[in-house]
């Protein structure tokens, strides 16, 4: 079984402004839930080849994981390969919308061993967590 979720939200800000905030790991702690540390190999916005190490809590477990940016389209898309809690491909996607920017996060992966038996539950939790992250992202960007 595969986890495949794609929550989205409309942020009432221009796409370039959303990208500048969302695609910069310096802002991770402000909008990504469960993250207690985010350490990019180099400062600045995410570009292809960039790597980041994060410490997080998920389903009651604390762990450190890394990701590498495998694809980048300025102000439109960042694709990340994540190694934990199970291998996933995560895409941050931005599109123009009449009310601002449509922001989607598409996460897909196949849990193995520890999480494999609980894939349906895990998919719901991943969707819930990403939807909450998008809500925080919207609040951060629309507050100012």
Q: Which pTM does this prediction carry?
A: 0.89
Q: Residues with Cβ < 8 Å from 73, sequence gap 6 or more?
A: none
Question: What does the block give as tokens for 25?
Answer: 């790991």
The pLDDT of residue 34 = 86
Model confidence pLDDT, tens digit, residues 15-71? 999 999 999 999 999 999 989 999 999 999 999 999 999 998 766 778 898 999 999
Model confidence pLDDT, tens digit, residues 76-129? 999 999 987 778 899 999 999 999 999 999 999 886 665 555 666 767 888 899
Q: Residues with Cβ < 8 Å from 124, sequence gap 6 or more?
A: none
Half-sphere exposure of 71 (CA within 13 A, CB side): 9
Question: What does the block give as tokens for 43?
Answer: 């400062």
The pLDDT of residue 62 = 84
> The domain 3-143: what is its CATH number?
3.30.530.20
What gap in Å lies between CA 95 and CA 101, rounded to an integer? 6
Residue ranges of domains in the chain = 3-143
Of 34, 29, 33, give the one whose Cα is nearest residue 132. 33
Q: How far is CA 135 from the centre of its chain?
A: 12
Question: What does the block give as tokens for 110?
Answer: 């196949």
Strands 88-97 and 77-82: antiparallel
The pLDDT of residue 86 = 74
What gap in Å lies between CA 144 and CA 140, rounded to an integer? 7
């Amino acid at each position: 079984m595969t986890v495949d979720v794609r929550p989205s939200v409309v942020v009432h800000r221009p796409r370039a402004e959303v990208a500048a905030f969302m695609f910069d790991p310096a802002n991770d702690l402000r909008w990504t839930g469960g993250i207690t540390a985010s350490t990019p190999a180099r400062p600045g916005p995410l570009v292809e080849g960039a790597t980041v190490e994060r410490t997080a809590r998920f389903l009651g477990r604390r762990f450190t994981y890394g990701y590498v940016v495998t694809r980048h389209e300025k102000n439109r898309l960042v694709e990340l390969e994540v190694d934990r809690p199970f291998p996933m491909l995560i895409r941050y996607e931005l599109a123009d919308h009449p009310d601002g920017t449509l922001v989607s996060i598409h996460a897909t992966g196949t849990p193995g061993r520890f999480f494999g038996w609980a894939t349906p539950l895990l998919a719901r939790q991943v969707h819930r967590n990403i939807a909450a992250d998008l809500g925080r992202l919207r609040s951060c960007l629309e507050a100012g």
